[in-house]
Amino acid sequence: MTVSQQLVSKLLGSILSVTLLCGTTAAQEPSLGNNTQIGTPPTPQAAASRITVPEGFRVTLFAGEPDVQQPISLTTDERGRLWIAENYTYAENPTNFDTELRDRIVILEDTDGDGRHDQRKVFWDQGRKLASVEIGHGGVWVLCAPQLLFIPDHNRDDRPDGPPEVVLDGWDEGPVRHNIVNGLKWGPDGWLYGRHGIQATSEVGKPGAAP
């Protein structure tokens, strides 16, 4: 057998080995899951009990469904209350957002100090594409793409003093889906910060201003 014949023989042997190995691997691959049984989700209490934390820490349930539904953002106020933005308008493709529905902001408070909320209020329930909530300067700041809104509540009675005021306009909406503007937070410099995703290309300005 010539040198070239030996090389060809070794090459064919290697190819055959790889083919057999691939066939064995494919035969050993697990089948796709086809379990059609409907599972039962844990209760909020059970879910909290399964969380593991370092020694010295503990997990307690402050609130759960149905008192909180579809949470997308939260913040606290100077009274220790929890403000939660609940988003119902986010939808699957190609709908993106179902604007026939409404988003809302709820307030949860623990008045007796037992670690669980015992008071719940709906502050606002007319949101669309609501993605963030923050408190300050006599009212509530919310992001409802394409706008940053300010809902005045100067007397702090947890009821809007009037309709939302459009502070800024021009953020991308709709097709960018979960890249819409979100994440309101006060910075140590007193500025209100937010963000939007990489797929959004917003041109933001005061209402009615040119892009």
Rounded Cα distance between 29 and 46, Å, is: 34
Residue range 125-177, pLDDT digits in tens: 999 999 999 999 999 999 999 999 999 999 999 999 999 999 999 999 878 88
DSSP category for residue 33 = P
pTM for this model (two decimals): 0.80
**In whole angstroms, how large is the CA radius of gyration of the chain?**
27
pLDDT, tens digit (0-9, with 9 covering 90-100), for 65-84? 999 999 999 999 999 999 99
d(CA 200, CA 197): 6
Query: Both ends of the chain: CA-CA distance in Å?
Result: 79
Sign of torsion over alpha carbons 168, 186, 143, 80? negative
Report DSSP state, residue 198: T
